[in-house]
A = this chain, B = another copy of it.
Amino acid sequence: MKRSGRLVAMTNFFLENPRVHKNLPSFTEKYHAAKASISEDLDIIDQLFQEEGLGYLKRTAGSAGGVMYIPESAYEKSVRFVDQLCERLKDPNRILPGGYLYMSDILGEPHTVREIGRIFASKFSDMDIDVVVTVATKGIPLAYAVASFLNVPVVIVRRDPKVTEGSSVSINYVSGSSKKIQTMVLPKRSLAEGSNVCIIDDFMKAGGTVNGMVSLLKEFDANVKAIGVLAEADDEEEDRIVDTYTSLVKITNVDLKENIISVQHGNFNKTIR
């Protein structure tokens, strides 16, 4: 195969298979090309990925050597994306009774969800995550987006047990804002003991839900390595139960009288608190 065709094929392979280790002979065999040619191809792809802010190719030398695509979202790209997100969230039509914000349209856009996932995955890239955990319902698409870039599975915590999931572990927890007792359930066979976990959710106020997930994950001896929430709400009345997390946007105020929503960047561009 000619270089031009190889570049297209290999670019597709890397984008579809992030964090999959591939040794060079598998490429030389597949494309009937010399090792030096493949190596040059990889240089070209690596350079372009870096220029476009898509991540980089991680090469390892030696007999077990090879290459792996590590997806990342370049800093400026992430900031620009979150800027746009903030603008969209400021639309006063989003205000719902009770001071809640309508976000389902944004969470319904596969492309937007994917970019959110790319930013979190980029942030959690070095944390050796084994599995992404979320709670039904709205965090699910975000969790899959993050997981697709980290090349790990998703496990979904439910609020109600389902017969199609077999025996499960459940906990009761107190919701942060409503102070109500709620239940969370995770099927026993869904998570291996001692897994490195990243928790993803769409929204965090006092942090009761995330905290509930942390408690439930303790039952599986999981290590919660990272917590990512799309939006956090500034809640001055409450002490937040969760203190180490990454957020993309922060809703600082919803003024029902003046119809103004105040949104700013979350802590994603700072060091993790």
Known contacts A102-B189, A137-B137, A141-B144; decide if A97 and B156 are in contact (CB<8 Å).
Answer: no
Q: How many residues of A contact B (CB 8 A)?
A: 54
Would A166 and B52 count as touching, CB distance under 8 A? no
**How far is it, in angstroms, between the C-alpha of A103 and the C-alpha of B114 when the chains are bound?**
24
- Which B residue's beta carbon lies closest to that of A187? B104
Known contacts A8-B11, A104-B165; decide if A110 and B156 are in contact (CB<8 Å).
Answer: no
- Of the listed stretches A43-51, A218-226, A262-270, name the one at the interface; the rest are far from the partner chain: A43-51
Would B12 and A7 count as touching, CB distance under 8 A? no
A-B pairs with beta carbons under 8 Å apart, 30 shown: A4-B7, A7-B8, A7-B11, A11-B12, A11-B15, A12-B48, A15-B16, A16-B111, A96-B165, A96-B166, A103-B164, A104-B164, A104-B190, A105-B153, A105-B189, A105-B190, A110-B147, A110-B148, A110-B151, A110-B153, A110-B154, A111-B151, A113-B144, A137-B140, A137-B158, A141-B141, A141-B144, A141-B154, A144-B144, A164-B203
Render A142-186 as a binary contact track against B, CB cut-off 8 A, 1 for contact. Answer: 001001100101111010000111100000000000000000000
Chain B residues with CB under 8 A of A65: none
Q: How far is the CB of A16 from chain B (nearest CB, A)?
A: 8
- Which B residue's beta carbon lies closest to that of A202? B164
Chain B residues with CB under 8 A of A47: 5
Would B101 and A164 count as touching, CB distance under 8 A? yes
Question: Which of B3, B17, B156 is in CB contact (< 8 Å) with A108?
Answer: B156
Nearest 6 pairs between A and B by C-beta? A110-B148, A8-B48, A108-B153, A11-B11, A100-B164, A136-B137
Question: Which of B9, B17, B97, B156 is in CB contact (< 8 Å) with A48?
Answer: B9
**How far is it, in angstroms, between the C-alpha of A83 and the C-alpha of B98 when the chains are bound?**
50
Would A98 and B163 count as touching, CB distance under 8 A? yes
**How far is it, in angstroms, between the C-alpha of A110 and the C-alpha of B52 when the chains are bound?**
24
**How far is it, in angstroms, between the C-alpha of A27 and the C-alpha of B3 when the chains are bound?**
21
**How far is it, in angstroms, between the C-alpha of A47 and the C-alpha of B108 when the chains are bound?**
33
A54 CB-CB contact with B under 8 Å = yes
Q: How far is the CB of A113 from chain B (nearest CB, A)?
A: 7
